[in-house]
Amino acid sequence: MKVLKKIFVLPLVFTALIFSSCSSDDDNPVPVVEEEVITTVKVTLTNGNDVVILQSTDLDGDEGPNAPIFSISGPLTKGTTYTGRIEVLNETESPAENITEEIEELDEEHQFFFATENNVATFAYNDSDGNGNPVGLNFTLTTNASATTGTITVILRHEPNKTASGVSEGDITNAGGSTDVAPTFNVSVE
């Protein structure tokens, strides 16, 4: 009878060991954060009644064969300070998904940077994240005092090092992170 008990008990012990030593990856799943699709970047610049809209639209996304479409509603006025606001959308969905809301919610993980060619304008941040570091959804743009043409590039970085040298002043050099979108607009200052 003792031998019979050992025969039944031993398989149960081995089974218990096998199931307790094997762990499923589902026990501690790693959260998967899907990268957002950005199709549209709209920059609205306002000075009183002077409103200029810069918009980049790429409805088939970065991987699609069609190039982005750029539109600029008019020239910028020389020697003028504009209040700026950026809106970011995913228009592959209906209704369009407002990515701006996600950037606001995860503001510590995002920062806009501004680059110009031919010194058409300078920029200053008007918003900050919970740590007091800039985000760039709201900013001021001051145009060159002389008439000129050039470009403005609006760069959205994901997970930049906001405490690195120069980053809080808008210098992208030490920011790191990854670029989510970076449309370049050809502008004129008149």
28-32, 66-70, 86-90, 126-130: least confident range: 28-32
Report the CATH architecture of 36-189.
Answer: Sandwich (2.60)
Rounded-to-10 torsion of CA 142, 144, 150, 152: -10
The closest alpha carbon to 56, from 43, 44, 69, belongs to 69
- pLDDT of 125 reads 98
Look up tokens 């499923």; give the residue.
24
Question: What pLDDT sits at residue 17?
Answer: 40
Residue 25's pLDDT band (cuts 50, 70, 90): very low
Q: Residue 20: is its pLDDT beyond 80?
A: no
pLDDT, one tens digit per residue, over 91-131 is: 989 999 999 999 999 999 999 999 999 999 999 999 999 99
Percent of the chain with pLDDT over 70: 81
Share of the chain above pLDDT 90, in %: 74
Place 9 in a pLDDT band, splitting at 50, 70 and 90. Answer: very low
Domains of the chain by residue range: 36-189
Which pLDDT score is estimated for 62? 67
Q: Comparing 21 with 155, which gets the higher pLDDT?
A: 155
CB 41 within 8 A of CB 25: no
Q: Given this model, what pLDDT does residue 44 score?
A: 98
The pLDDT tens digits of the residues spanning 132-157 come to 999 999 999 999 999 999 999 999 99
Instruction: Please give the pLDDT value at position 129.
Output: 97
pLDDT at residue 7 is higher than 60: no
Are 149 and 186 spatial neighbours (Cβ–Cβ below 8 Å)?
A: yes
pLDDT of amino acid 28:
47
